[in-house]
Structure 1
């Protein structure tokens, strides 16, 4: 696709990594091509799905879509960052293959960035939808309140460390537009794994630039059985281990950053919680000896019943311990 260099509006790169979700992918792309903000490129990076989604992509007959298919599975992180590196736009926005955007998502979030070069990103609130695409009003409200977006005032926040890393109000994976040159995409460590979104938040904060909040629900986050957060919250030990390792790495990076020293007590608390989660994941995977050090480290930070229970169960037979 040739970029229109004469366009009065900046190019936005829509990043859509995908794996084995053809129906969801079609819905996601439909929401992208229907954006009222027209000057976009849509980068679909398929992570070697068993069924090649190229036909789905081509069915849109939209020259703004760029399709790339990996010859081998790069993992979620590898495929996502690869797609970001393919971007040519002034701005980038992640549209995961199981989510959707409202038609005016970009139209509402790009102008504040254009008006203020001191912004790293613009973000909004979002709906929560079920596997069938129906809005879950109760979960939507709960999510907005939990992440402190329900009463967040419209406007600029600078700095926004607390907003992005403590309150987690900013969702780089679901509901944000980022100024692409704020981030060195080649320098993101692979250890961030599935926590790449909060790490992007961190990099944007670290730039010293601000964030703009638009208090409308302009995207739709889908909750279903195959989301990584759902998998890691259920009895899938590999997913739990993978997510916990990624979270621990991020919190360790945050604790090592002098600019975040005021928030260290929170990061230490979260690190201890995730350390216990990693121990539980390893124990469910019947790796009892590997699990114990994480329980001990967590207990050194804070005395929690969950951690104590995990440590004691790690000394029981694997068949019992793995049921925790």
Structure 2
């Protein structure tokens, strides 16, 4: 069923689109939103760019498109506060987030919003992502691997028995999801978690939601671009993984979600140990490694001994 025009029965969807210095990519993203088979939507854009190129492009290309609601942030807000401002400006019943270098499939919004007709008490929905190159050409094999890596497989489809698990184990994507606007606005994007603000938001959203649905169909396209907003901090002590580790460790969870926390820490802890070793923080790195031996298969992993060697070299370097 297609809903190419708004009706009193179709909820309004606010597509929130943060952008920063990517005028060469954002037009394709906006166009993918405008060609949706679902009609009752708005595209709310927050521009953190340092120059006026994006503003000029949008003025020239979308001046007569009432669904496009553009704002230039002066001064720039930063990643988290930009997204938070979009949520605040959104006037729809549902919110969908898409980043400026990614795309929506033509029926992506319709596929997600239709889940509420089947499950009226639903609060959050997400689905699969295609993987594409900078030009948007889809790699189908890589797409299967991407979703499998994040536990988005056919056997997992449906209402999730433990909604919070989706966020903790990173099954929930960082964009291309849809959720009730009131819940999204209540959770908000926090600006005190640095580059892992998207992981924190996804986890808190899923923990707060009573019903979360995973749809095993493609609704968005993840474009592998040359630059990443988190690239500049990779390998440093303010890297997204370090912040994510601290967030997961500090979470207060019900007993049934403790296995999910352990899964998250199994992924995060070794990366954090490596970061601390590279930054010559041998004591801290060693403490994390030895208190998370389950992340190294309790010593039956060559990765542990490699990290211990890195830490010992870091300790010698400190002296």
TM-score, length of structure 1 as denominator length:
0.82
**1:110-149 correspondence to structure 2 within 5 Å:** 110-149=113-152
Distance 1:147 1:264 in 2: 15
Q: Deviations over 1:62-120 (max 9, x none)?
A: 11111111112322222222222221211111110000001110111102124423212
Aligned partners of 2:12 and 2:93 also within 8 Å: yes
Over aligned residues, Cα RMSD in angstroms?
Answer: 2.7
Deviates more, 1:78-87 or 1:157-166: 157-166
Q: CA deviation at 1:153?
A: 5.0
Partner of 2:160: 157
Aligned partners of 1:298 and 1:307 also within 8 Å: no
**1:187-266 correspondence to structure 2 within 5 Å:** 188-228=189-229, 231=231, 236-238=234-236, 241-254=238-251, 256-258=252-254, 260-266=257-263
Distance 1:54 1:19 in 2: 11
Per the alignment, do residues 191 and 271 of structure 1 end up closer, same or farther by CA in structure 2, a change over 3 Å counting? farther
Partner secondary structure for residue 142 of structure 2:
helix
Partner secondary structure for residue 75 of structure 2:
coil
Partner of 1:38: 39
Partner of 2:171: 169
Aligned partners of 1:191 and 1:249 also within 8 Å: no
Distance 2:106 2:193 in 1: 31
Listed as ranges, the gaps of 5+ residues in structure 1 are 319-324
Distance 1:151 1:20 in 2: 37
Q: CA deviation at 1:133?
A: 1.4
Partner secondary structure for residue 53 of structure 1:
helix
Distance 1:317 1:223 in 2: 37
Partner of 1:322: none
Q: CA deviation at 1:270?
A: 4.0
Distance 2:218 2:187 in 1: 32
Distance 1:103 1:190 in 2: 32
Per the alignment, do residues 40 and 227 of structure 1 end up closer, same or farther by CA in structure 2, a change over 3 Å counting? same
**1:72-111 correspondence to structure 2 within 5 Å:** 72-111=75-114
Per the alignment, do residues 262 and 9 of structure 1 end up closer, same or farther by CA in structure 2, a change over 3 Å counting? same
Distance 1:143 1:82 in 2: 30
Q: Deviations over 1:4-60 (max 9, x none)?
A: 997431111111110111111011001011111111111110113334411222212
Q: CA deviation at 1:315?
A: 3.7
Distance 2:7 2:67 in 1: 16
2:271 equivalent to 1:269: no
Partner of 1:67: 70
Per the alignment, do residues 96 and 272 of structure 1 end up closer, same or farther by CA in structure 2, a change over 3 Å counting? same
TM-score, length of structure 2 as denominator length:
0.83
Distance 1:269 1:149 in 2: 19
Deviates more, 1:9-18 or 1:307-316: 307-316
Per the alignment, do residues 10 and 245 of structure 1 end up closer, same or farther by CA in structure 2, a change over 3 Å counting? same
Partner secondary structure for residue 191 of structure 1:
coil
Distance 1:258 1:84 in 2: 28
Q: CA deviation at 1:186?
A: 6.6
Listed as ranges, the gaps of 5+ residues in structure 2 are 294-298
Deviates more, 1:292-301 or 1:11-20: 292-301
Runs in 1 of length 4+ with deviation above 6 angstroms? Answer: none
Q: Deviations over 1:122-165 (max 9, x none)?
A: 11111101112111223212112212223335432233233332
